Amino acid sequence: MSSLITMRLWGMMRKESLQILRDPSSIAIAFVMPVVLLFLFGYGVSLDAKHIPIGIVIEQPDTATQSLAGAFERSEFFRPLHFDAIQSAQQALDERKIEGIVWLRNNFSASLLAGHEAPIGVIINGVDSNQANITQGYIQGTWLAWLEHYAASRGQPLAMPVNLQQRVWFNAALSSQLFLVPGLIAIIMTLIGSLLTAMVVAREWERGTMEALMVTPLRKSELLVGKLAPYFVLGMGGMLFSVALAVWQFGVPLRGSFWLLLVSSALFMLVALAIGLLISIVSKNQFMAGQLAIIVTFLPAFILSGFLFDINSMPGWTQVITYLVPARYFVAIVQTLFLAGDVWPVLLTNMAALFIMLLFFFSLVWRKFRKRLD
Amino acid sequence: MNAAALTFSVVSKTFRSEGRQVQALAQVSFAIQPGRVTGLIGPDGAGKTTLMRLVAGLLLPDTGAISVLGLDTRARPLAVQSCIGYMPQRFGLYEDLSVQENLDLYADLQGVALTQRPARYAQLMRMTGLDPFTRRLAGRLSGGMKQKLGLACALLRAPQLLVLDEPTVGVDPVSRRELWQIVYRQVQETGMSVLLSTAYLDEAERCDEVILLHQGKLLGQGEPAQFSRSVAGRTFQVSAKGMSHRRLQAQLSRAPGVLDALSEGETVRLVMTAPVAPTAEALLPGQAGVDIVPVAPRFEDAFVARLKKHRSEGETRLSIALKNNTGDRDVVIRVDKLQRRFGDFIAVNNVSFSVRRGEIFGLLGANGAGKSTTFRMLCGLLPASGGELAVAGHDLRRAAATARGRIGYMAQKFSLYTNLSVIQNLRFFSSAYGLRGKQQKARLDWALTTFELGPLRNANAGDLALGYKQRLSFAATLMHEPEILFLDEPTSGVDPLARREFWARTNALAEAGVTVLVTTHFMEEANYCDRLVIMAEGEVLAEGTPLQMKTRARSAKNPDPTMEDAFIQLIEQRQGKTADVAA
């Protein structure tokens, strides 16, 4: 009776696909959501500091102060505003018009020329501590570079005991776009795999159709496969679409193998689907399922996966929790595949972790999902 | 004798909900014979749905065994599911799939061979009258059509046992009658057995056999006539000239020896505690022109007689003192050519009627007839697209809060706060209408006593049985002593006894001068109304007293038509065709 099995399974998959096609929200989550998220994170969110507005207070303009101010003007990191007195600059800082102040007092040039220490006052808005650190660093860098240049122009070599020679690997331009976009693929797949799946299964419970399905001779395996297969396809479609956008729209290089990306994505997709199914078993109404899916899958994928925030700088116990987040492993995989290439040790350990999670969640689904109501 | 189609041997089933054990079925044993239609009858919460799900293998019994066509549901659920057809409540249809796609899905799932399909589809579509709609989305079908599609899906593979869980709830009478015709035709043609549950007691008489279930226990099994015979000689019809039918019903229900008094338009149907003909003097002392006629017992009489024995509480009385009962009979609700459109869809079209003070006015119709939409417009919850309406001289959509304070609205599905206790709900609703201090305290006491909610005052509203939810909801609606009551499907899903109590209270309110506007899809409840309109597809088909409605349907073939007969006749006239689906 193998033909019957395919008939039941086929019927189930066709029904599910028709429902996906009829329901604009499924298509939206698979194809519109990636566009929105990619554009939002690709263009809207930037972790790089550029064009930081700062105030420059020069109490006594002369060539030295002009040349230092010019260094800030030329830097792509700053957008300097000039003030005559420190009071007006402080007020601008209060009003958040500027993020920091560089203050050159009236004895600056005199001290410099006399070979004394020439103090530069720097005030930084520390509300956003991360931004403050970056601003501080850039101000220091700009000032050092100017000093070197200034000394050289006067024929006095600047004696520096250490010489820094740095290279940035994988993301040479230090563009946060290149770092964020690959990780987004994990977020998008979580949305399709867990959120969408949990909601559509819960919908069947809510509308009483699950009850009708369960009384047919449909087997448990057919029900599960028939339900998941179309969403697997949808999720992989969303994934390919996101990869295409990443490569062609955002210019993220895919340095590793495409096939490896495909295989690991499939692995992650299955984990996400299994979690989605589990959620719908626990909560049989759409609202609850949606809330649960967001709290259990989407938010951890967002915050704890290393997609946005560096896991190593989290507190120890938070780091432990991240090991329970499947997206953590997948984010590591996609970031490696896109930016670094086929780095086997990284890929293998993370794929193994995903595989273990897959086995765990599917055996849980198999145990918990019954063709019964109690 | 053939092997039984279904046997329950000492089956018990308990559910745990929030720490409490709920016994859904207690030691139920019965067998049903093949080729018969067996009705599962019982009030809400009796365990009907649990029993149906046990048959389908969706639940397993805690103790005991269930055998379907000789197969044990615990050992071989898939085999059982391969030979039964099952239609859950709400029909189990995919509303975003078309009629044809729903059929294809269930044919695939049930393993109907591809070669057999065209003939089977054609047969079922002809039988259900869905032929012209195969491409329509199931969600766009009317309630009656959905019900028939659900049935068609359950019948695809010609099951040996068909299990239908409340297949006719909320569906119009014409569709209900058609469903019965289809079911009986299948039984005759294929010899299949049918188990169906219903909340409509008149449908019990259409079954070959009835199983009576109450609070999880089996009260009896037998042919409907057998049940009816148990109250033989105890049923009478009483009329009294010059007495309002409401007072007549109220007095009779308190008369000695009366077990049940049911309004039937101008007359009252009595079930006595013993088979002795009552005298006019005993029933209505001092009343002239009393006429007592013995009538043939019905299943409903027997049902009520049986259940009342199992229910300790007696009839309840409602004391209502209306603040400004002037006793005049002027028009308080006026609706003129009311219309409501939702896009292209006209939900209510050209509806006109007027209601006088102290009247019970009914809006009768199937789900989707436009009753609730009309209601919402009257209560000012929804703007009208056209026409005029006035409630106590105001359009409530624009009227001040004081005008709204004169009406009480009880929404369908009982809008209570499920996680608040009975007393907290009542306190909230009374404060919402501005009751404070002593006055509020007095009303709270009144509500708890009148609706017998005292013992449950600290129970969560969500944990109450449906009948009690309805009581609480009704009490909440009455806290501010409204003059005009809007009751939207107050009896939906509530068992026959709770419905009787509800109507006794409503009658008392009307006697006290409260105007009541009520919607219902139970045709026989029209008998409680002074006047009513029958609605279908957003339009009024007829207006009049219950008696006028029934008189219109009277014919040589049917000398004593029921309200349902009257309704069906109106629908048929409207459709301009005979309702016989076989034609």
Contact B406, B395 (CB under 8 A): no
Per DSSP, the three-state class of B11 is strand
Inter-chain residue contact A208 with B88, CB threshold 8 Å: yes
| A172-196 pLDDT per residue, tens | 666 777 888 888 888 888 888 898 8
- Whether A345 and A219 map to the same domain: the answer is yes
Three state DSSP letters for chain A: CHHHHHHHHHHHHHHHHHHHHHCHHHHHHHHHHHHHHHHHHHHHCCCCCCCEEEEEEECCCCHHHHHHHHHHHHCCCEEEEEECCHHHHHHHHHCCCCCEEEEECCCHHHHHHHCCCCCEEEEECCCCHHHHHHHHHHHHHHHHHHHHHHHHHCCCCCCCCCCCCCCCCCCCCCCHHHHHHHHHHHHHHHHHHHHHHHHHHHHHHHCCHHHHHHCCCCCHHHHHHHHHHHHHHHHHHHHHHHHHHHHHHCCCCCCCCHHHHHHHHHHHHHHHHHHHHHHHHHCCCHHHHHHHHHHHHHHHHHHCCCCCCCHHHCCHHHHHHHCCCHHHHHHHHHHHHHHHCCCHHHHHHHHHHHHHHHHHHHHHHHHHCCCCCC
> Which residue range(s) make up the domain with A33?
13-45+175-368
- Whether A120 and A146 map to the same domain: the answer is yes
Among chain A residues, the shortest Cα distance to B56 is held by A215
Assigned domain for A165 exists = no
pTM, to two decimals: 0.79
- Whether A41 and A108 map to the same domain: the answer is no
Give Cα A160 to chain centroid, integer Å.
Answer: 39
Contact B180, B579 (CB under 8 A): no
Contact A57, A68 (CB under 8 A): no
- Whether A203 and A348 map to the same domain: the answer is yes
Q: Which residues of chain A have pLDDT under 70?
A: 1-5, 46-48, 157-161, 163-164, 166, 168, 172-174
Assigned domain for B575 exists = no
pLDDT at B578: 40
Q: Minimal Cα–Cα distance from A203 to chain B, Å? A: 11
Among B222, B249, B274, identify where a domain stops: B222
Whether ipTM tops 0.90, in short, is: no
Q: Nearest by CB to B88, which of A22, A212, A374?
A: A212
Per DSSP, the three-state class of B313 is coil
Tokens 């279908």 — which residue?
A: B536
- Whether B72 and B196 map to the same domain: the answer is yes
- Whether B188 and B296 map to the same domain: the answer is no
Assigned domain for B513 exists = no
| B43-77 pLDDT per residue, tens | 777 888 899 999 999 999 999 999 999 999 999 99
Tokens 């008189």 — which residue?
A: B551
- Whether B218 and B239 map to the same domain: the answer is no
- Whether B186 and B269 map to the same domain: the answer is no
Q: How many CB atoms lie within 10 A of CB A21?
A: 12
pLDDT at A174: 63
**What is the band of B581 on the pLDDT scale with cuts at 50, 70, 90?**
very low
Inter-chain residue contact A211 with B91, CB threshold 8 Å: no
Assigned domain for A162 exists = no
Per DSSP, the three-state class of B8 is strand
- Whether B194 and B294 map to the same domain: the answer is no
Q: Minimal Cα–Cα distance from A212 to chain B, Å? A: 5
Assigned domain for A159 exists = no
- Whether B142 and B245 map to the same domain: the answer is no
- Whether B97 and B239 map to the same domain: the answer is no
- Whether A134 and A267 map to the same domain: the answer is no
* Residue B90 touches partner A, C-beta closer than 8 Å: yes
Give the rounded percent of residues in chain B with a pLDDT score beyond 90.
33
The arithmetic mean of pLDDT across residues B458-487, rounded, is 86
- Whether B258 and B288 map to the same domain: the answer is yes
The arithmetic mean of pLDDT across residues B205-219, rounded, is 90
Assigned domain for B413 exists = no
Between strands B84-87 and B71-72, the pairing is unpaired
Among B222, B246, B278, identify where a domain stops: B222
- Whether A199 and A184 map to the same domain: the answer is yes
pLDDT at B310: 53
- Whether B179 and B290 map to the same domain: the answer is no
**Greater pLDDT, B366 or B161:** B161
Assigned domain for B254 exists = yes
Instruction: Please check the confidence at residue B265 and state whether its pLDDT lies above 80.
Output: no
* Residue A24 touches partner B, C-beta closer than 8 Å: no
Contact B327, B381 (CB under 8 A): no
**How far apart, in whole angstroms, are the C-alpha atoms of residue A94 and residue B364?**
70
pLDDT at B325: 55
Assigned domain for A337 exists = yes
Q: Minimal Cα–Cα distance from A130 to chain B, Å? A: 46
Query: Residue B261 is part of a domain; what is its CATH number?
Result: 3.30.70
Inter-chain residue contact A215 with B57, CB threshold 8 Å: yes
State the average pLDDT for chain B: 85
Inter-chain residue contact A7 with B108, CB threshold 8 Å: yes
Assigned domain for B579 exists = no
Contacts (Cβ under 8 Å, ≥6 apart) of B10:
B27, B28, B29, B63, B64
- Whether B127 and B267 map to the same domain: the answer is no
- Whether A60 and A40 map to the same domain: the answer is no
Strand order in the sheet with B267-272: B258-264, B267-272, B235-240, B290-294
Query: Residue A134 is part of a domain; what is its CATH number?
Result: 3.40.1710.10
Per DSSP, the three-state class of B21 is strand
Largest Cα–Cα separation, chain B? 77
Assigned domain for A199 exists = yes
Among chain A residues, the shortest Cα distance to B100 is held by A15
Contacts (Cβ under 8 Å, ≥6 apart) of B344:
none
Query: Residue B153 is part of a domain; what is its CATH number?
Result: 3.40.50.300
Q: Minimal Cα–Cα distance from A15 to chain B, Å? A: 7
Assigned domain for B271 exists = yes
- Whether B117 and B212 map to the same domain: the answer is yes
| B269-289 pLDDT per residue, tens | 899 888 888 888 888 888 888
- Whether A194 and A331 map to the same domain: the answer is yes
- Whether B41 and B172 map to the same domain: the answer is yes
Q: What are the distances in angstroms from CA A259 to CA A240, A246, A273, A337?
A: 12, 16, 21, 10
- Whether A145 and A28 map to the same domain: the answer is no
Assigned domain for B49 exists = yes
- Which residue in B74, B81, B108 has the most chain A C-beta atoms within 10 A of its own C-beta, making it the best mutation to test that interface? B108
Assigned domain for A116 exists = yes
- Whether A255 and A107 map to the same domain: the answer is no
Domain count, chain A: 2
Q: Of A12, A1, A20, which Cα lies nearest the Cα of A221?
A: A12
In this structure, the dihedral spanned by the alpha carbons of residues B17, B20, B24 and B27, taken in order and rounded to 10 degrees, is: 140
Q: Nearest by CB to A216, which of B90, B96, B110?
A: B110
- Whether A58 and A35 map to the same domain: the answer is no
Between strands B484-488 and B407-410, the pairing is parallel
**Greater pLDDT, B468 or B367:** B468
- Whether A201 and A348 map to the same domain: the answer is yes
Assigned domain for B478 exists = no
Among B248, B280, B309, identify where a domain stops: B309
Domain count, chain B: 2
pLDDT at A200: 86
> Which residue range(s) make up the domain with B264?
233-309
